[in-house]
């Protein structure tokens, strides 16, 4: 009886039929975590590109138009394109005379000075990952589980 039990244990030790199932069970959680991470990173990057594209597309309207004194309507357009509240969009315009920034966009430069007028759009947004990564998401800049995104673009209008 004892010999038979020992023989069975030795046969069980040599048996490799379930080895691949055990290896898969050990590897599956790592594979799932990797797929989840790749999925979240790609969706976050897509969101970042959407916000950047909103800033660039809004400035295209400025580039093809004439110089204005009021660009505040761009905030609404950029916010709608980026899918963020209007308060997350900042439009800044300024005048430079010979490379020196002036206080008044509508001001004039001295005779012979190079005139340059600029319009800049800054958009702040965030991305909420599909899965909670705890300390890892906080390390990426998200206090509340969200990852902060931003885009900035400027164009010279004159």
Per-residue pLDDT tens over the stretch 21-54: 788 888 899 898 889 889 888 998 999 999 999 9
Please give the full DSSP string across 38-81, using - where no structure is assigned. Answer: HHHHHHHHHHHHHHHHHHHHHHHHHHHS---S--THHHHHHHHH
Cα distance between residue 77 and residue 89, in whole Å: 10
pLDDT (mean) for 81-98:
88
Residue 66, pLDDT > 80, answer no
pLDDT of residue 139: 60
pLDDT (mean) for 76-98:
88
Residue 128, pLDDT > 80, answer yes
pLDDT of residue 54: 92
| Residue 147 burial (10 A CB sphere; 0-12, 13-18, 19+) | buried
């Amino acid at each position: 009886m004892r010999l038979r039990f020992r023989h069975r244990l030795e046969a069980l030790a040599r048996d490799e039929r379930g080895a691949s199932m055990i290896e898969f069970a050990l590897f599956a959680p790592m594979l799932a975590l990797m797929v989840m991470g790749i999925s979240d990173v790609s969706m976050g990057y897509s969101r970042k590109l959407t916000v950047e594209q909103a800033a660039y597309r809004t400035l295209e309207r400025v580039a093809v138009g004439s110089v204005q004194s009021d660009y505040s309507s761009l905030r609404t357009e950029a916010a709608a394109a980026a899918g963020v509240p209007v308060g997350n969009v900042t439009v800044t315009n300024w005048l430079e005379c010979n490379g020196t920034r002036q206080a008044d966009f509508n001001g004039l430069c001295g005779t012979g000075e190079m005139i340059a007028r600029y319009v800049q759009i800054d958009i702040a947004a965030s991305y909420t990952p599909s899965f909670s990564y705890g300390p890892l998401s906080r390390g990426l800049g998200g206090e509340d589980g969200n990852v902060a995104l931003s885009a900035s673009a400027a164009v010279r209008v004159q």
